Amino acid sequence: MVGHGQCLSPQPGDWMKGKLVGSGSFGTVHLAMNKATGALFVVKSSQSELGLKFLENEANILENLSSPYTVQCIGKDVTNTASTGEKRLDLFMEYMCGGSLADVAEKFGGVLDERVIRLYTREILQGLKYLHKNGIVHCDLKCKNVLLGSSGNVKLADFGCAIDLKHSNERSTHFCKSMGGTPLWMAPEVLRNEGLDFAADIWSLGCTVIEMATGRPPWGDVVSNPMAAVLKIACSDGVPQFPVHFSKQGLDFLAKCLERNPKRRWTSEELLNHPFVTGELSVDGRNSVKEDVCSPASVLDIRNYEDGSDEDDSEDESHDGGEFPSRFPFLVMQSGRRNSALPMQQQESDLGSSGTWVTVRSG
């Protein structure tokens, strides 16, 4: 696997930690500054045993990646407290000032215009193509784990659940499969524990496109009942509801991603040639794919849509932890009432949280 520079620790004292910009079940995310250059970056930190495992996995994955479509690791620092024996890991990452796609959608009306979705989907596919070529399954693709740069470029992030199929051992693979991923975005075969392959990321991509287009998690019609949602995804013959306002190209693209048989699911390379992302037949009859975008304002042309669903959007997410199998410990991490009319990042149910990192946002 080609990688330019491993995640090496900066010299002590060369950086300073700024304000908290995100948090997760396993640690915190702070803005940071290189005191020698003034450059901004972010630092992910964890001291819990489980958080360290996820962060160490992310560091191991990122140190071998070098792609304009994946977030860059710029260093790491491991410290041990002699008095307590506690281990602390700080992972230094490039700063993506636009925040996650969930943040972007929230700031621009809750949903994204199909032209923008096409652009973002194309770059996500480029990232998946690179990962899959190098034997890596992301395992937790969703809007919160795709970050936006100031020029409109997007990068895949949050590799705590990722698996390197070429180099992982049985123990590490079992750990990531049992603890990682977000059920509403997970492929049926993964929920059935039948195996994990690149096709799982393609299913999650289809769910992410639905999320961008509707401002809601996939499977929104069953999100109020977590166990019913898991069973429906894993064992039924259904797929998430497609956006009713989507073009024919968009609907066909989703059908290629959300094929329940993973062997018939299109690959990232095949999907990169699909008209939905090539721009051959755009919504307005023009080629909508732009190779260079100089400002977010040129692509974030937001239009509000209704997703056409008529389900009751209010749900009670208080659960007893014993109701859910240990295969999904993240199902019971949060509780409380939410209204799905809220922006997508505010409305994720227990099923919509993998316990991984909250993406950094610009303000």
pLDDT band at 70 (very low <50, low <70, confident <90, very high): very high
pLDDT of residue 2: 44
Average pLDDT over residues 76-99: 82
Q: Name the pTM for this structure.
A: 0.76
pLDDT band at 331 (very low <50, low <70, confident <90, very high): very low
- Of the candidate ranges 134-138, 180-184, 206-210, the one whose mean pLDDT is the lowest: 180-184
Question: Could you tell me which residues are beta bridge partners of residue 8?
Answer: none
| 352 pLDDT higher than 60 | no
H/E element, 117: helix 114-133
pLDDT of residue 285: 42
Q: What tens digit of pLDDT does each residue of 176-190 get? A: 555 567 899 999 999
Closest by CA to 153, choosing from 120, 129, 178, is 120
Determine contact, residues 153/165, Cβ cutoff 8 Å: no
Q: Which long-range contacts (CB under 8 A, 24 or more apart) does 332-341 make?
A: 333/25, 339/313, 339/314, 340/216, 340/220, 340/223, 340/313, 340/314, 340/315, 341/313
Query: Residue 151 carries which side chain, given as an amino acid letter?
Result: S
Annotated domain spans of the chain: 15-94, 101-352
- HSE-up of residue 319 (Cα within 13 Å, Cβ side): 21
SS3 362: coil
Q: How many angstroms separate the CA atoms of 354 and 181, rounded?
A: 6
Q: Are strands 40-46 and 87-94 parallel, antiparallel or unpaired?
A: antiparallel
Please state, for a pLDDT cut of 70, what percent of the chain lies above it: 68
The residue ranking higher by pLDDT, 163 or 292, is 163
pLDDT of residue 150: 86
Fold for 101-352, please state it: Transferase(Phosphotransferase); domain 1 (1.10.510)
pLDDT of residue 79: 80
H/E element, 175: helix 170-179
CATH number of 15-94: 3.30.200.20
DSSP 261-322: STTTSPPHHHHTTSHHHH-TT-TTSS----S----GGGT-----------S--EEE----GG
Question: Could you tell me which residues are beta bridge partners of residue 42?
Answer: 31, 93
| 122 pLDDT higher than 80 | yes
Two tokens, residue 16: 């300073």
H/E element, 90: strand 87-94
| 347 pLDDT higher than 70 | no
Two tokens, residue 163: 């698996």
Q: Do domains 15-94 and 101-352 have the same CATH topology?
A: no
Angle between helix 114-133 and helix 248-257 axes, rounded to 10 deg? 30
Residue-averaged pLDDT of the chain: 77
Max Cα–Cα distance, the chain, nearest Å:
67
The phi, psi pair for 276, rounded to 5°, reads: -60, -35
Query: Residue 336 carries which side chain, given as an amino acid letter?
Result: G
pLDDT of residue 246: 96
- Of the candidate ranges 286-295, 306-315, 318-327, the one whose mean pLDDT is the lowest: 318-327
Q: How many angstroms separate the CA atoms of 114 and 303, rounded?
A: 9
pLDDT band at 107 (very low <50, low <70, confident <90, very high): very high
Catalytic residue among 77, 90, 103, 140: 140
| 117 pLDDT higher than 90 | yes
| 24 pLDDT higher than 80 | no
| 307 pLDDT higher than 70 | no
DSSP-derived secondary structure letter, 205 = H
Q: Would you give the distance in Å from CA 231 to the centre of its chain? A: 22
Burial class of 290 by CB neighbour count within 10 A (0 to 12, 13 to 18, 19+): middle
Active site residue 197: no
| 87 pLDDT higher than 90 | no
Q: What tens digit of pLDDT does each residue of 145-173 get? A: 999 998 999 999 999 999 999 876 655 55
pLDDT band at 229 (very low <50, low <70, confident <90, very high): confident
Q: How many angstroms separate the CA atoms of 239 and 209, rounded?
A: 13
